[in-house]
């Protein structure tokens, strides 16, 4: 069975084939870019933040990713996991949680979930810096 874990789960494939929140936000409140072309993966996350009942909430989020199936799928699910959530909660998003939400990732692809979690953190940091 162990070799089967190198295959993508249905959920990974679904998020790759039908990415959620794909695109760009005009005048975003924060942008997080991680990875580089030499390594083959670049993720860019755009967020729009609003204040609600004294809490900062991610009102909208979009992503653009150059990368493999897992890179695109982890970006896509990360946007779903943080959309509508308070910043504090989004910041606490771990790469493990991203991988689990996708029904697991092949071992060699775990670094994609790290990139996605980093992109979320960077976008929030960017928002805070601009503020």
Partner 1 sequence: MDKVYLDYAATTPVRPEVVEAMRPYWGEKFGNASSLHSFGKEARIAVEEAREKIASILNAETEEIVFTGSITESDNLAILGLTGRFPEKVGQLITSEIEHHAVLDTFITLEKRGYRVSYLPVNQEGQVNLKALEEALRTKTLLVSVMSANNEVGTIEPVEEIGEIINAFNKGKKDWRVYFHTDAAAFFEYLPLDVKRLKVDLLSLGPHKFGGPKGVGVLYVKKDVSLSPLYFGGHQEFGLCPGTEAVPLIVGAAKAFELASKEKEENKNRVTVLRDRLIKGVLEKIPGVFLTGDAERRLPGLASFSFRDVEGEAVLLRLDKEGIAASSGSACTSGELKPSHVLLAMGIPPEEAHGSVRFSLGRETTKEDIDYVLEKLPRVIEDIRKMTPKL
Which residues are identified as catalytic? 39, 112
CB nearer partner 1, residue 32 or residue 117: 32
Measured torsion, CA atoms of residues 29, 11, 39, 23, in degrees rounded to the nearest 10:
-30
| Beta-strand runs (E) in the chain | 30-36, 41-52, 55-66
45 neighbors 23 (Cβ within 8 angstroms): no
Kindly state whether residue 7 participates in binding partner 1, applying the rule CB under 8 A.
no
Between 43 and 72, how does the x/- string for binding to partner 1 read (CB under 8 A)?
Answer: xx-------------------xxxxxxxxx
Residues that bind partner 1 (CB under 8 A): 6, 8, 13, 16-17, 19, 22, 24, 33, 37-44, 64-72, 106, 108-109
């Amino acid at each position: 069975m162990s070799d089967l874990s190198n295959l993508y789960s249905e959920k990974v494939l679904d998020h790759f084939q039908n990415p959620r929140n794909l695109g760009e936000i005009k005048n975003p409140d924060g942008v997080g870019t991680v990875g580089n072309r030499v390594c083959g993966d670049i993720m860019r996350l755009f967020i729009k933040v609003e204040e609600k009942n004294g809490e900062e909430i991610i009102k909208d989020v979009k992503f653009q990713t150059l990368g493999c199936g897992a890179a695109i799928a982890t970006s896509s699910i990360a946007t779903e996991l943080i959309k509508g959530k308070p910043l504090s909660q989004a910041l606490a998003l771990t790469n493990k949680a991203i991988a689990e939400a996708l029904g697991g990732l092949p071992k060699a692809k775990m670094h994609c979930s790290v990139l996605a979690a980093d992109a979320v953190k960077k976008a929030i940091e960017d928002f805070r810096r601009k503020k």
